Amino acid sequence: NYPPYEVGSYLLRDIIEINTPGTPTGTEIWAAGNNGISVWRSGQWVSYNTYDNPNGLISNDIYKFAVDSKGQIWVSTAAGLCRFNGSQFETIMVPLSPGGKPLLPGKLAAASDGSIFMASSDTLYRFYYPIDNQEGQWQSWSFSSIYPDYPLSTYYPIYQLETETLNGQLWLKFQAKDPNNNNQTFNVLVRYHDGNFTAYSEAEIPALKSLNTIPFIPGNSGDSCYFTCEVGFLECNLGSGNSNN
């Protein structure tokens, strides 16, 4: 069964399976498209859009989903960020850093600890639930603090923010520029794990230079990644800095 036409037309950006204990199937399928959201629930498709449903959704242009530690579904849209509380969507106002730029659509991911990450072109944001604060708290890091060696590229600063499926580590891929080399751009990978950021650049792993705009595929362990390239796959062992074509 495919999502109905209003979601599947022209562009289907994301699709996830959500655990729903107590329902007949125990799961739901959420599909994001350029004209709303469709959910496969109890054997039928249910649509969410701004046309005729007063459900709080702020845009029909949907990019990505993420699920937090409470099982709430976060939705990245062209108009901002929403969170589904089980019956309605609520708009999430991200406390942008002073002078910070707006969030980038689609740059949304959940880490292994159930926290939610999102990105603008200059800042990474995290929402999480501390034990003593059921309302949740925000953190933010400028990319200059995560990778202070070189400034970000202004043309394609942030490529991708993804969670590794098998062990839940969060990965960020972006481009930086070298002011000492005619602002030549180069690829950088950043891994978030156990509250820490680790950055890998072409200087450490020369094979990163051959990456293109196609998304990377994290490997089975936290120390490896597979990248799609024009001529095949590139395997990078981030622990040793070795690479194999």
pLDDT of 245 strictly over 90: no
For position 91, what pLDDT does the model report?
93
> Whole-angstrom Cα distance, residue 60 to residue 63?
10
Mean pLDDT for 59-67 is: 92
Summarize pLDDT for 72-118 with one digit per residue, the tens: 999 999 999 999 988 899 999 998 877 778 888 888 988 878 889 99
Rounded (10°) CA dihedral 60, 61, 63, 66: -20
The model's pTM: 0.80
Summarize pLDDT for 183-224 with one digit per residue, the tens: 787 778 788 877 888 888 877 777 677 665 545 565 555 566
> Whole-angstrom Cα distance, residue 68 to residue 113?
8
- Could you tell me the CA-to-CA distances from 230 to 72, 176, 208 in Å, in that order? 38, 22, 13
